[in-house]
Structure 1
Amino acid sequence: MSAYATALAAIVSREAMRFVQQRGRFLAALVRPLVWLVVFAAGFRAALGLSIIPPYQTYITYEVYILPGLCGMIQLFNGMQSSLSLVYDQEMGSMRLLLTSPLPRWWLLFSKLLAGVAVSILQVAVFLGIAALTGITVPPWGYLAVLPALLASGLMLGALGLVLSSTIRQLENFAGVMNFVIFPMFFLSSALYPLWRMAESSPLLRDICALNPFTHAVELIRFALYGQLNLTALAWVVGCGALFMAAALWGYDPARAMQRRRPG
């Protein structure tokens, strides 16, 4: 057990040092959701009326509605950013060296994943603090109740990033793939609009959004901020997270990684 704990501590500390040295990454993670919260939400407020839907007990402003979605956005971008660092590690050879250690491969990948999730939760906490300063608040107990939801959603999105990083050979190819994943997942979800709004314009679009794992990550966070548990969203998040992690373990099989690095 000491070897497992040592490996976890080493990987988490390495990711923490990398995060501290990349201050622009922290600022960028906050600028994106703050722009949506301050600029876009103000413009959409008049155009989008929101009825009383769970977990809300009264009519809410658009800023309140998109707050959980922006928390999910932070975790989504952080998961992709963490996978970008994995692609870099693969090019430099450090990832292959890590996977050849005597510890189980699943533990090493889980440690990398957990380190990224810890960073994303810190970013979300700062964002929620800034939102509270602007008057967008949630019940006080919601700030604690949301932590397990952020852990679950962060693990799922981070595992998705692991899957992507296992399929990309070169760093310059990652940006296109990342945008191809991030923007459809974010816009085809309940982060910006309720599903019943989408159903009014296109039932097919609503069904696509309902099948999007990011939608359920957002809803898990949304209900948790108000001290409620959305069992359907939790089942989706846990199930998709396990599926993504299994795919990442297969993608990071050492034998397959060495075959991909052979010329030709």
Structure 2
Amino acid sequence: MSGFWGVTRAIVGREFLRFIHQRERFIAALVRPLVWLLIFAAGFRAALGLSIIPPYQTYITYETYIVPGLCAMVLLFNGMQSSLSLVYDREMGSMRLLLTSPFPRWWLLYCRLFGSTAISILQVYAFLGIAALFGITLPTLGYIAVLPGLVLGGLMLGALGLVLSSFISQLENFAGVMNFVIFPMFFLSSALYPLWKMAESSPLLRDICALNPFTHVVELIRFLLYLQFNLHAFAWVVLSTLVLSLLAVWGYDPARGLMRRKG
């Protein structure tokens, strides 16, 4: 067990050191949601009327509505950013060296996943702190209650990034794939508008949003911030995390990779 703890500490510590040395990564993680919160929300406020829907007990401002979605955005972008570093490590050879260690491959991947998730959560709380400075306040206990949702959502989106990185062989191809995944997941969700609003224009798009795992990450965070539990969203996120985690382990299977290279 001491060996497993040692490798966990080394991998997670390496993730934090990389994050500390890349200050622009932290700034970029905050700039994106703040642009939506402070600029786009001002324009959408008048166009998008919001009714009283769970978990809200009264009318809220549009800025308050999109905060959970922007928290999930931070998790999504950081998960993709971590996957980009995985592709870089594989090209440099350090990832191959890591996976040839005597420890189980799934444990090494999950250590990397835990490290990136912890960094994502720190960024989310930094964003929530800045949002509070601009008057977007939430229930005090909600900042604590949302932590399990952030952990689960971060693991799911980080596992998605692991899956993508396992199938992308070149660093220059990853940016295009990231955009192909990130923007449809974000815009086809309840991050910026409720699903009932989407159904008014297109029931089909509403159904697509309802099947989007990112939507359920957003709703899980939204309900926990208001001290409520959304069992449906929780079940979807757990199922998605398990499926994506299994795909990631399979994608990094050396035997499968060898067969693919021979083919």
State TM-score, norm by structure 1: 0.98
**Same amino acid, percent of matched pairs:** 75
Could you tell me how far 1:97 is from its partner in structure 2?
Answer: 1.1
Deviations 1:57-106 (CA, angstroms, capped at 9, x unpaired): 00000000000000000000000000000000110111111111111111
1:61 aligns with 2:58: no
Could you tell me which residue of structure 2 aligns to residue 246 of structure 1?
A: 246
The answer for unaligned runs of 5 or more in structure 2 is: none
Could you tell me which residue of structure 2 aligns to residue 123 of structure 1?
A: 123
Aligned pairs for 1:11-26 within 5 A: 11-26=11-26
Query: Alignment partner of 1:138: what SS?
Result: coil
In structure 2, C-alpha distance between the alignment counterparts of 1:33 and 1:206, rounded to whole Å: 23
Could you tell me how far 1:226 is from its partner in structure 2?
Answer: 0.7
Could you tell me which residue of structure 1 aligns to residue 195 of structure 2?
A: 195
Could you tell me how far 1:49 is from its partner in structure 2?
Answer: 1.0
Could you tell me how far 1:258 is from its partner in structure 2?
Answer: 4.1
Aligned pairs, how many? 263
Q: Which deviates the most, 79-88 or 249-258?
A: 249-258
Could you tell me which residue of structure 2 aligns to residue 220 of structure 1?
A: 220
- CA 116–107 in structure 1, closer or farther in 2 if over 3 Å, else same: same
Give the letter aligned to residue 133 of structure 1: L
In structure 2, C-alpha distance between the alignment counterparts of 1:257 and 1:87, rounded to whole Å: 14
- CA 137–34 in structure 1, closer or farther in 2 if over 3 Å, else same: same
In structure 2, C-alpha distance between the alignment counterparts of 1:54 and 1:100, rounded to whole Å: 49
Could you tell me which residue of structure 2 aligns to residue 83 of structure 1?
A: 83
Give the letter aligned to residue 167 of structure 2: T
Could you tell me how far 1:4 is from its partner in structure 2?
Answer: 0.9
- CA 220–71 in structure 1, closer or farther in 2 if over 3 Å, else same: same
Aligned pairs for 1:50-199 within 5 A: 50-199=50-199
Could you tell me which residue of structure 1 aligns to residue 8 of structure 2?
A: 8
Q: Which runs of 4+ in 1 moved over 6 A?
A: none
Give the letter aligned to residue 87 of structure 1: V
The answer for unaligned runs of 5 or more in structure 1 is: none
Could you tell me how far 1:255 is from its partner in structure 2?
Answer: 2.1
Contact 1:79 1:154 in 2 (8 A): yes
In structure 2, C-alpha distance between the alignment counterparts of 1:41 and 1:58, rounded to whole Å: 19
In structure 2, C-alpha distance between the alignment counterparts of 1:148 and 1:84, rounded to whole Å: 25
Give the letter aligned to residue 47 of structure 2: A
Contact 1:33 1:74 in 2 (8 A): yes
Deviations 1:119-163 (CA, angstroms, capped at 9, x unpaired): 000000000000000000110000000000000000000000000
Contact 1:100 1:254 in 2 (8 A): no
Query: Alignment partner of 2:146: what SS?
Result: helix
Query: Alignment partner of 1:17: what SS?
Result: helix
Give the letter aligned to residue 161 of structure 1: G
In structure 1, C-alpha distance between the alignment counterparts of 2:259 and 2:126, rounded to whole Å: 42
Task: Report the RMSD for the aligned CA atoms in angstroms.
Answer: 1.0
Could you tell me how far 1:260 is from its partner in structure 2?
Answer: 5.0
